[in-house]
Amino acid sequence: MPILKYNHKILYFSHMPKCAGTSVMRIFSIISECKPSFYDPTFTEHNYDRWSFSSPQHILGKDVSKMFAPEFFDQYFAVCRDPIERFISAFLHQKYYEKKIPSYTNINEFINKISFLDGKEFRKHDNHFQPQSSFLFPDVRYTCFKLESGLKPVVDYLFNYFEVKKFPIKIPRENRMGKPKISENLLLTDASIAKLKRLYEKDYQIFRYQA
């Protein structure tokens, strides 16, 4: 839930894991020369006791609504992604970068064994596998962008919203996973696809992806 403030405007960004959120934060910093609030990109590096199960940027919308009135923010926006493509990206991130998933784990085995109704599983992976819809602040109007369309529309939106004179900007590609260090079979079985579609059913509906 990064909070972006500039030119007396407060913008709420629903930072959905593996939807280019880190790149969006970098874009905001370039455009405004400001730092966002409620954002900790070094959360996974902390060795001391953490204040929360998740990083501040990955707090769920329903939890944020307990701390902030909807009128506190002037506008809300998000970047979403095809649910299954996002899941695969999160799996690789957790396996090779954060190393919360054992290196020998096959993606279909992971999908088969994980209990998606268990909140502990979600928290253990910094909410990376949470449905994207769970990051939305409830009952407010959103401006939403699809990652498949690139980040240029997001750049234009931030320039316009914060009333900043446009200048050329190279869109950063932060926090991207390179090719897996070992041969990785990411072909999902029919059973795995069906399970993911059930888990992310609401995402398919809200963000208008074809199931």
**How sure is the predictor about 163, in pLDDT bands with cuts at 50, 70 and 90?**
confident
pTM of the prediction? 0.84
pLDDT tens profile 113-147: 877 655 666 667 778 899 999 999 999 999 999 99
pLDDT tens profile 29-63: 888 776 677 666 555 665 555 555 666 566 888 88
Are 116 and 129 within 8 A, CB to CB? yes
Determine the Cα–Cα distance for residues 64 and 2; give it in Å rounded to an integer: 11
For residue 1, what are its two tokens? 């839930």
Strand boundaries in the chain, DSSP class E: 3-6, 9-14, 75-80, 143-146
Are 114 and 5 within 8 A, CB to CB? no
Q: For residues 159-188, give the mean pLDDT.
A: 72
